[in-house]
Structure 1
Amino acid sequence: MTRINVEYTTEGSKHMQPATFLLKTTFADKDPAAHILFDYGIYTREMDMYEQILPHLAIIVREELQDTRKMFAATVNADRQRDSIIFEDLSLEQYKVACRLKKLDLVHTHLLLEKLAKFQAAGAALAERLPGIFEKNYDRGFFNKHCRGYEHIMTNVLKALSHTLELNGDLKKRYQAKIDRLVDNVMAYGERATSNNPGDFLTLAHGDLWTTNVMFQYDNKGHPTNAIFIDFQFSVWNSPAIDLHYFFSTSIHENLRLQNQTELVQFYYYKLVEALKKVNYLGKVPILFVFQQQFRARAFYAVFSSLVFEPAIVYNGKEEPSIEKFISADEEGVRLRDAVYQTEETEKKLHLILPFLDQLGLLDEM
């Protein structure tokens, strides 16, 4: 991502005007992780989103949901030949990314869930109006039936977790065997949890919804007034529950994550139903009880989010994280993966997260 400053004139004017844009470039042939990511379709999906999907969603949200706030950055240009997208620079409107280490409080969480409900209601409506628009390249989230590029990352990180449990006798006794079994089954369980079943409410999920992929705008008292989404490389046609699990597991305060999830799902659900009515969605909207069941049916998404991605997301140590290092079997890769788990903060959280997941049956054979 590069910020570019330009000066330009409009037709019929001699006066130069300044402008700032963000340029995002993705060169698959130069990406050291391309062999992992290519089959997921991420190099074309974000361009598809900005060119073909997001403009439609913006109109639905603005005109039918009557929310004039931004939902994502406007696209200036998408250049497939050069693998680049030029966006408006939202920092000019004082949008900023929240701290990935401090995570989000209830006010930020409610605001984000409200915007997510509108985004996903608009996605469901768009799928009805333009049948087939999500058929190509929107079936490949982190878990899917087509590729397992993330398998080595997930298994290597879970092995590092098992190694870390050696340092705590109580955790080792209670959870090490279960984590070791997950190493062999994480991909199969994940694919099962993200399979779409008859009767499920489906829509466009962001697919990678965590703190750094959201920007907030604030009033002069420091209260968040809007939230926008960025980075749509893993957007996928699936249950909104996968976004909820991923977001709860990676991005909100621990007390909210462990004690308030059912309430937060209810909050999101009511906002979703309200938005679906406004866009005249014709499909079947599940009752809250059924939607909560759908959320629980995809709960394994919280396992990989909590135990694989979240420790890496909040890692702030000396080792330099990269996809290649998470895959590598060499000393540097092992050292990084051990370091991710062996921070004081992560070790404390393991005493909370492992029982939470275990009590839901998510660490047992499934």
Structure 2
Amino acid sequence: MERGLKSYTPSSGPFSFNVLNHGDFHLKNILYKINDEGEVEDFIFFDYQVAIYATPAVDLSYALYNFVSDDNRENRYDELLKVYHEQFVEALKKFGYIKAPPTLLDLQVEMMKNGNVQVLLGVCFYPFLLFDFSTLTAEDVTAGPKAFKS
């Protein structure tokens, strides 16, 4: 419990860094502007009711489970972190950040230190991503757990 709470609070120390996390980062919390050719022209995030200032591992882990296939998450994890890091450093430069940005190693350590976030997502939320809600009826919802017994 302590480790979990620590991941959702700003970290301190010489090698730690914090970002503004959306906290509920998935496709349903993004609005897209589609052009006439059917391509995404722009997008914005919304629904910041659980936003927090903490380790980037929170939203990055969330994205890895909500936007990335199991195969890519398992086999291209290092590449995904590298791409995130490159974009993160580029954004910091555009914002005029004057300190040295976190290194890729800093990000990898941050993800390892906060691996409990991925465990939380895997155990608590991931099963919902696998469930076919189109087969769910009102009776299933009101019947409770007995509806899911075989």
- Bin the TM-score by the shorter chain: 0.7 to 0.9
Query: Is the 8 Å Cα contact of residues 206 and 243 (structure 1) preserved in structure 2?
Result: yes
Q: Does 1:318 align with 2:136?
A: yes
The amino acid that maps onto 1:235 is A
Alignment of 1:62-77 (within 5 A): none
The amino acid that maps onto 2:136 is K
1:259 aligned residue: 75
Q: Does 1:334 align with 2:114?
A: no
Q: Does 1:205 align with 2:21?
A: yes
The amino acid that maps onto 1:334 is P
Deviations 1:326-355 (A, max 9, x none): xxxxx944347x57xx9xxxxxxxxxxxxx
- Give the SS at the match of 2:33: strand
- TM normalised by structure 1 equals 0.35
Q: CA RMSD in A?
A: 2.7
Give the Å deviation of 1:189.
Answer: 4.1
Distance 2:106 2:112 in 1: 10
Query: Is the 8 Å Cα contact of residues 8 and 52 (structure 2) preserved in structure 1?
Result: no
- Give the SS at the match of 2:41: strand
Distance 2:27 2:93 in 1: 29
- Give the SS at the match of 2:25: coil
Q: Number of matched residues?
A: 144
Query: Is the 8 Å Cα contact of residues 201 and 284 (structure 1) preserved in structure 2?
Result: no
Distance 1:268 1:213 in 2: 19
The amino acid that maps onto 1:259 is N
Query: Is the 8 Å Cα contact of residues 31 and 43 (structure 2) preserved in structure 1?
Result: yes
Distance 2:130 2:12 in 1: 33
Alignment of 1:187-336 (within 5 A): 187-195=1-9, 196-198=11-13, 199-315=15-131, 316=133, 317-318=135-136, 332-335=143-146
CA 1:215–1:314: 2 relative to 1, 3 Å: farther
| Identity between Structure 1 and Structure 2 (%) | 25
Give the Å deviation of 1:319.
Answer: 5.1
- Give the SS at the match of 2:43: strand
Query: Is the 8 Å Cα contact of residues 250 and 306 (structure 1) preserved in structure 2?
Result: no
In our comparison, the structure showing a higher alpha carbon Rg is 1
The structure, 1 or 2, with the larger RCO (C-alpha pairs under 8 Å, 6+ apart) is 2
- Identify unmatched segments of 5+ residues in structure 1: 1-186, 326-330, 343-366
